[in-house]
């Protein structure tokens, strides 16, 4: 029987560790909220339009634009206008369901797209906060991204820039929102430094490289690449945090060795040779979920205790305190509070007898360890485990063309690392750039092996394990699986247009950039 604690007994979400309240999210909603934070420099705001937006109210906006002479022939073609709004401009929930379909927000094509949104359908569970604090750690990248996303709008005069070269959909969004206003609140969000600084710097470096393409790529393609990067780095950050946080607690410091890696199956075949190794590898990641939840609760309860006099306590101080040892008195009181709320005997609820039995085999545990274990094994810990899996599935865009994870419909095919074609395309566009003097980039060609090695060293994703230190004692079967994976990798690069066989000579088999920046 599971112990049921009241929500808020200990708040799991800690922005100093991970700002996200892990739940199932939709990345388009995350971008909408992120754009709002970028626009306001992290300050909360209130939208002045309180009524719920729907397709009818948006077509009325178009009518007003036609009366002002900004749009022509809309009234004669309202069916076409409605189709354009539905297919090109609007994010919907329950799309296609006549009864349940609702407008969520405008598509995140411009920085101001957040001005039209229905808040109850556009929740991101603080995922945008995590992305913003990662971007905020590099002001140069944040400023460049804001400038690109704000194209066509003068922030100082709060008006349209008519000379801007914009696509039809982005221009349509700007005309729809130009009269809508918002007010900034006095509440500023706490934006601490990211716990995994190197991972945050890697995300910023990828966004910096993506901005090199801002004049080359259509806006819709750029936004798609940016969305894929956000999901990809959120997934990497989460999986590395799950792996590294328990080590931080054990060692009493933030600076621990980052040796995380994951095999990715590029074959798109659930029965491929490499799939077995990819499944086993990701299972090791999943086995860390409980340790991560325990480590987070350990930090949370100690931080709450140390900051009881409104003293600001950092994660580094908490980790050091855990390593040095903790007072038993405070946690004995917390355990007694839990015990006093339990019934003496109950067949339907967790009672005092169950409490005693739970710690029967943990007599050597300190009161701190018992309290953390109690939280981890309660309904609160169970829900965090369930929602963490859902969040990782969403961030990795599982089973989509942009996937970092894949699975089958039955238990025979559990989750495994994968590499979707759209994700691979995005990574190749970034990795064919190399920095040069003056803060600029130039494009370069890469061999297949160089690209696979670059993905391994930069992101920890293993496509070819032959020669890797992790597989130095690999047998023939393992090497055969990696060879199959590399053949699939080469074929996928051919499909997305980055690789053409010109010769059997290995030196001539190059991945050539689509855009030349030399």
Averaged over 415-425, what is the pLDDT? Answer: 96
Averaged over 122-136, what is the pLDDT? Answer: 95
Residue (of 262, 264, 267, 279) closest to 487 by Cα position? 267
377-410 pLDDT per residue, tens: 999 999 999 999 999 999 999 999 999 999 988 8
Q: What is the mean pLDDT of the chain?
A: 90
pLDDT for 265 equals 96
Question: Quick one: pLDDT band at residue 161, thresholds 50, 70, 90?
Answer: confident
pLDDT for 186 equals 66
Ranges 162-166, 257-261, 293-297, 466-470: which has the least confidence: 162-166
Residue 191 has pLDDT above 80, yes or no: no
Angle, to 10 degrees, between the axis of helix 197-211 and the axis of helix 127-136? 80
Convert 339-378 into a string of H (helix), E (strand) and C (coil): HHCCCCCCCCCCCHHHHHHHCCCCCCCCHHHHHHHHHHHC
Which stretches within 341-475 are classed as H helix? Answer: 352-358, 367-377, 379-395, 421-431, 448-459
Check residue 255 and give left, alpha or beta (phi > 0: left; psi -120 to 50: alpha). Answer: beta
Residue 37 has pLDDT above 80, yes or no: yes
Cα-flanking dihedrals φ and ψ of residue 395, to 5°? -65, -35
Q: How far apart are CA 79 and CA 90, in angstroms?
A: 15
Q: Which secondary-structure segment (H or E) carries 185?
A: strand 182-188
| Pairing of the two strands 43-47 and 416-417 | unpaired
Query: Tokens 């945050």 appear where?
Result: 200
Averaged over 420-428, what is the pLDDT? Answer: 96
Q: Which residues of 350-389 are buried (b: 16+ CB within 10 A; e: fewer)?
A: bbeebeeebeeeeeeeebbebbbbbbbbbebbeebeebbe
Give the CA distances from residue 71 to residues 36, 66, 75, 168, in Å, rounded to whole numbers and listed in that order: 27, 4, 10, 12
Contacts of 144 (CB under 8 A, 6+ apart): 208, 211
Q: How far apart are CA 267 and CA 272, in angstroms?
A: 7
Residue 49 has pLDDT above 80, yes or no: no
Question: Quick one: pLDDT band at residue 438, thresholds 50, 70, 90?
Answer: confident
272-304 pLDDT per residue, tens: 999 999 999 999 999 999 999 999 999 999 999
Hey, which bits of 276-345 come out as E strands? none
pLDDT for 236 equals 97
pLDDT for 262 equals 96
80-111 pLDDT per residue, tens: 988 999 999 999 999 888 889 999 999 999 99
pLDDT for 344 equals 86
pTM: 0.94
Residue 507 has pLDDT above 70, yes or no: no
Contact between 90 and 177 under an 8 Å Cβ cutoff? The reply is no
Contact between 45 and 183 under an 8 Å Cβ cutoff? The reply is yes
Cα-flanking dihedrals φ and ψ of residue 47, to 5°? -80, 135
Ranges 263-272, 282-291, 345-354, 463-472: which has the least confidence: 345-354
Sign of the torsion angle spanned by Cα atoms 371, 374, 376, 381: negative
Question: Quick one: pLDDT band at residue 164, thresholds 50, 70, 90?
Answer: low
Is residue 260 classed exposed, middle or buried when 0-12, 13-18 and 19+ CB atoms within 10 A define those classes? middle
């Amino acid at each position: 029987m599971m112990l049921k604690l009241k929500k808020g007994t200990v708040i799991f979400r800690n922005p100093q560790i991970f700002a996200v309240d892990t739940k199932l999210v939709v990345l388009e909603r995350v971008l909408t909220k992120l754009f709002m934070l970028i626009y306001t420099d992290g300050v909360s705001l209130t939208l002045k339009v309180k009524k719920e937006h729907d397709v009818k109210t948006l077509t009325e906006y178009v009518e007003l634009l036609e009366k002002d002479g900004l749009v022509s022939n809309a009234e004669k073609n309202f069916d076409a206008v409605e189709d354009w709004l539905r297919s090109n401009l609007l994010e919907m929930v329950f799309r296609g369901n006549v009864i349940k379909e609702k407008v969520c927000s405008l598509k995140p094509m411009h920085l101001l797209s957040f001005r039209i949104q229905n808040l109850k359908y556009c929740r991101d569970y603080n995922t945008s906060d995590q992305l913003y604090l990662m971007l905020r750690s590099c002001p140069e990248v944040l400023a460049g991204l804001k400038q690109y996303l704000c194209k066509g709008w003068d922030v100082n005069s709060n008006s349209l820039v008519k000379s801007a070269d914009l696509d039809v959909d982005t221009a349509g969004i700007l005309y729809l929102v130009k009269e809508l206003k918002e007010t900034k609140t006095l509440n500023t969000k706490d934006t601490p430094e990211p716990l995994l600084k190197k991972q945050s710097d890697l995300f910023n470096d990828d966004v910096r490289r993506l901005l090199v393409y801002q004049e080359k790529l259509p806006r819709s393609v750029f936004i798609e690449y940016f969305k894929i990067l956000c999901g990809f780095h959120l997934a990497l950050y989460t999986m590395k945090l799950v792996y590294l946080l328990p080590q931080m607690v054990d060692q009493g410091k933030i600076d621990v060795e980052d040796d995380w890696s994951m095999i990715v199956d590029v074959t798109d075949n659930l029965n491929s040779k490499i799939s077995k190794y990819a499944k086993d590898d990701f299972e090791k990641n999943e086995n860390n979920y409980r340790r991560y939840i325990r480590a987070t609760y350990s930090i949370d309860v100690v931080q709450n205790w140390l900051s009881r006099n409104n003293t600001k306590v950092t994660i580094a101080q908490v980790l050091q305190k855990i390593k040095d040892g903790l007072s038993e008195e405070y946690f004995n009181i917390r355990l007694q509070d839990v015990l006093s709320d339990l019934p003496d005997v109950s067949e339907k609820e967790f009672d005092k007898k169950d409490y005693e039995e739970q710690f029967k085999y943990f007599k050597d545990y300190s009161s701190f360890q018992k309290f953390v274990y109690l939280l981890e094994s309660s309904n609160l810990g169970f829900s965090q485990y369930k929602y963490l899996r859902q969040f990782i599935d969403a961030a990795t865009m599982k089973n989509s063309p942009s996937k970092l994870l894949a699975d089958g419909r039955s238990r025979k095919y559990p989750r495994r690392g994968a590499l979707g074609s759209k994700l691979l395309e995005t990574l190749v566009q970034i990795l064919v750039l190399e920095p040069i003097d003056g803060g600029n980039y130039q494009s370069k060609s890469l061999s297949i092996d160089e690209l696979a090695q670059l993905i391994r060293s930069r992101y920890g994703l293993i496509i070819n394990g032959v020669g890797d230190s992790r597989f130095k004692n690999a047998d023939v079967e393992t090497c055969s699986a990696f060879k199959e994976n590399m053949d699939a990798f080469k074929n996928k690069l051919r499909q997305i247009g980055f690789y053409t066989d010109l010769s059997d000579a290995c030196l001539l088999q190059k991945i050539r950039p689509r855009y030349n920046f030399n």
